[in-house]
Amino acid sequence: MPTTAQAAQCMNAGLDVVVLGSGGPELTDKRASTGYLLRENGKARFIIDFGAGSSLNFERAKGEIKDLNALLFTHFHVDHSNDLPALVKASFFSDRNRDLPIYGPTGNHVIPTTPVFIERHFSEKGVYPYLSDFLSGEAAFSLKPMAVNADKSKPRLFQTKLNGFTLKAIPIEHGLMPSIGWRIEKDGCAVTFSGDTSNIGKTLDILAKDTDIFIAHNAVPESSTDKVAVKLHMKPSEIGRIARNTNSRSVVLSHFMRRTVNVKQDTAKAVRKQYQGKLAFAEDCDIFSLKSGLKVGSCKQ
Ligand SMILES: [Zn+2]
């Protein structure tokens, strides 16, 4: 497994992450479902998941579709993906003229692999055939779906370079759903997105090594005795353990659900037992600087 000999120092003050959605699948939490936007000097570069409501906050963050290098998906549960058709339709009205890569997990019997998932949305035989020009090459640009290994029995680190950024992904444990965690690096800066995971296979310990920001999903409380939920999601103590083990410089908790959003004190206590660095609870539109690891603004203002 690749290791970092010496922790790099983040040298680019222009990189930030906007929380497009800090909620999960519930429609009772007054939050958008999961989504994030990595920007450079205010320009949209990568979307990481795009659940319901993310498109509105993309707009609030002044994101422009033409500026995006790629869309990255951790998995295709509805709360992580279902504003995608809104983005594709909106792109018709943008100035984008270069192809748009869409990276997501390989499939299995519960969900198709990324290229098939995209085809089933946007091909002539898909649910939105009127958008098929975005796959056939007849629109101003094409969607370019690509599958990244999500096989937990072979947890290799995926790595590629795109327009000056390094993208890394690794399979993560999320029950039957093929899922990957993502990491984006540039100029010694790194942000890691946990995705939804119990981290039973401990693969986030590899992906998040020396990250500037570890965005960790807080979908189950420390006190949970729900056997199904704790196989799908990590408890706060596990988030703290990963943060300590990887030497994460800051932790941003997100993907709240009713069962976690009202027990923040207990959550912080459980994380703090393991990890004493910077810790924040995300709200929709929060902006975090990769260099400082701190909240520096909100796209609501
Ligand atoms: Zn989720």
108 located within any domain: yes
5 CA → ligand 1 middle, Å:
33
147 CA → ligand 1 middle, Å:
20
Q: Is the pLDDT of residue 2 over 90?
A: no
196 CA → ligand 1 middle, Å:
6
Q: Is the pLDDT of residue 3 over 80?
A: no
- Please give the helix or strand (H or E) that residue 229 lies within, else none: helix 229-232
199 located within any domain: yes
182 CA → ligand 1 middle, Å:
15
108-141 pLDDT, tens digit each: 999 999 999 999 999 999 999 999 999 999 999 9
265 located within any domain: yes
194 CA → ligand 1 middle, Å:
11
The CATH number that applies at residue 226 is 3.60.15.10
4 located within any domain: no
255 CA → ligand 1 middle, Å:
7
Q: What is the DSSP string of 170-235?
A: EEE-BTBS-EEEEEEEETTEEEEE--S---TT-THHHHTTT-SEEEEE--S-TT---TTHHHHS--
133 CA → ligand 1 middle, Å:
30
5 located within any domain: no
7 confidence band (pLDDT: 50, 70, 90):
low
59-71 pLDDT, tens digit each: 999 999 999 999 9
Task: Look at strands 286-289 and 278-281 and give their pairing.
Answer: unpaired
8 confidence band (pLDDT: 50, 70, 90):
confident
Considering the chain, what percentage of its residues have pLDDT values greater than 90? 96
6 confidence band (pLDDT: 50, 70, 90):
low
89 located within any domain: yes
228-283 pLDDT, tens digit each: 999 999 999 999 999 999 999 999 999 999 999 999 999 999 999 999 999 999 99
Whose tokens are 């399979």? That residue is: 171
Q: State which residues form the domain around 23.
A: 15-298
Greater confidence, 301 or 184? Answer: 184
7 CA → ligand 1 middle, Å:
30
Residues written for the chain? 301
The stretch 213-223 carries a mean pLDDT of 97
Tokens matching residue 120:
């089933």
13 CA → ligand 1 middle, Å:
30
138-158 pLDDT, tens digit each: 999 999 999 999 999 989 999
Q: Is the pLDDT of residue 1 over 90?
A: no
8 located within any domain: no
141 CA → ligand 1 middle, Å:
30
282 CA → ligand 1 middle, Å:
15
155 CA → ligand 1 middle, Å:
21
Q: How many domains does the chain have?
A: 1
How far apart are alpha carbons 31 and 156 in whole angstroms? Answer: 34
The stretch 197-202 carries a mean pLDDT of 96
